[in-house]
Amino acid sequence: MALIDIMTPRVNANEDEVLVAELHVAVGDQVDVGDLLISAETTKASVDIEATHAGTVSKINGKKGRMIASGSVIVVIDTGGDSAAAGDDASGADGGSAEVKVTTKARLRAEELGVDLDTVAPKAGRIGVAEVEAAAGKGPDGGPQVTAMQAVLVGGGGHGATIGEIAVACGWDLIGAVDGKLPKGTHVISGVEVIDTDDALQSLYDSGVRVAFVGIGGATSSETRQAVFEKLQAIGFILPPLVHPTAHFGADVKLGAASYVLPNAMVGPRCRIGANVIVNSSSTVAHDCVVGDHAHLTPAAILAGNVRIGASSVIGMGASVLFGVEVGRGCLIHNNVSVLMDVPDFTELSLEHAPKHRDLDA
């Protein structure tokens, strides 16, 4: 295939441009030698620009009513091959072997989305933003347009609203909540409503959403929250921790995935907090504490320094744990209990009853 440039003539020595008065062809038209392509004008004369070769019009640089510089290319004629195969789809199909033009915006978008340009199918020999987005699974054929800061909230109840609010305060853009019990359209917080059930998590992930927040609480047990956490991990979601701007977050603290520090909570220096932990509003965790995965420190719970809390344990509202004490796994410490000595795994402690063993599947 040969591309023939048709040049804009210089009609008048003192005029550097001609006016494109009339376009007689469009891109894709078949032309023969001598066919009229464009009528052009200067202030002194008008001229007809004719085809010098037979073929398909592949590009027109002039626009009707616009000026174009003398000596520049005004029309390109493709003389090669079977004329019927010159349409957009045909050139797109063999785009893999020909040189493919990637637009600058498409290159930037591919970097942003982590898309390998070699995997993107060109359209008419070109890769644009639309092609990159289609390759990322966010094309115009459905699927929301996703940005890196977009996230889904799992759970649309009271705790979901609390976590949703913190996520927004931390700069995340929530696309909505999924909830197995609440109907679609249920208001969670301003701008966030229930968009589907938990079953939609996989398809949300497939559409490009990569970040999720666990909006499930658990006043006495962490089992449901743990199950949601594990499901999200299995799908592949990124589960960032959150620290509300009003919380104090001490030096050298480690905070695991999907662990959230709520408003006005205090976490002292050098604490190690596992994954999927709730450090609820106004709770205090003094220095050097270790808190296991899935634990819940409910509002106003107080841990003195060097306390250890086992995985999946719940510390009630107003309960306190003395310096250096170790609470085992799966424990439930009721409201206002003062824990003064170590507590074995799966123990339930309350003000009203003697300590008893909990039967937890975990």
Partner 1 sequence: MRVVEELRDSLFGIVERDPSTIVLGEDLLDPYGGAFKVTQGLSDAYPNNVITTPISEAGLVGVGLGMALRGRTVLAEIMFGDFLTLTTDQLINHAAKVKWMFNDAVDASLVVRTPMGGGRGYGPTHSQSIEKHFCGVPGLTVMAVNQFQSPGALLKEAAELGSPVLFIENKIMYSKLVEPDRLVTYDRPDAVILTYGGVTEFCVQAAERLLEDEELTVEVVPVQHLSPMPADLIRAAAAKSGRIFTVEEGTESWGFGAAVAEEILSAGITPRHFQPIAADPTAIPSARNWELEILPSVDKIERAIVASF
For partner 1, the binding residues (CB under 8 A) are: 15-17, 19, 43, 65-67, 101, 103-108, 128-129
**Least distance to partner 1, CB of residue 229, Å:** 38
Q: Residue 128 or 310: which CB sits closer to partner 1?
A: 128
Burial label, 243 (beta-carbon count in 10 A; 0-12, 13-18, 19+):
buried
- Report how far apart, in Å, the C-alpha atoms of 280 and of each of 16, 283, 323 are: 74, 6, 20
Q: Residue 20 or 265: which CB sits closer to partner 1?
A: 20
Q: Residue 18 or 188: which CB sits closer to partner 1?
A: 18
**Least distance to partner 1, CB of residue 19, Å:** 7
Q: Residue 106 or 216: which CB sits closer to partner 1?
A: 106
**Least distance to partner 1, CB of residue 99, Å:** 14
- Please list, in sequence order, all residues whose beta carbon lies within 8 angstroms of the beta carbon of residue 284, skipping any fewer than 6 positions away: 265, 266, 301, 302, 303
Q: With residue 349 as reference, give the H or E element that holds it.
A: strand 347-349
- Please list, in sequence order, all residues whose beta carbon lies within 8 angstroms of the beta carbon of residue 237, skipping any fewer than 6 positions away: 201, 205, 210, 211, 212
Q: Residue 67 or 360: which CB sits closer to partner 1?
A: 67
Tally of CB atoms within 10 A around 302: 20
Q: How many residues in the chain?
A: 362
Question: Would you say 2 and 80 are in contact if contact means Cβ atoms under 8 Å apart?
Answer: yes
**Least distance to partner 1, CB of residue 98, Å:** 17
Task: Of 198, 261, 276, 272, give the one whose Cα is nearest residue 230.
Answer: 276
- Please list, in sequence order, all residues whose beta carbon lies within 8 angstroms of the beta carbon of residue 32, skipping any fewer than 6 positions away: 51, 54
Q: Which residues of 122-140 are buried (b: 16+ CB within 10 A; e: fewer)?
A: bbeeebbeebbbbbbbbee
Q: Residue 61 or 197: which CB sits closer to partner 1?
A: 61
Q: Residue 18 or 153: which CB sits closer to partner 1?
A: 18
Task: Of 239, 291, 301, 306, give the one whose Cα is nearest residue 266.
Answer: 301
Q: Residue 65 or 355: which CB sits closer to partner 1?
A: 65
* Per-residue tokens: 20: 């494109």
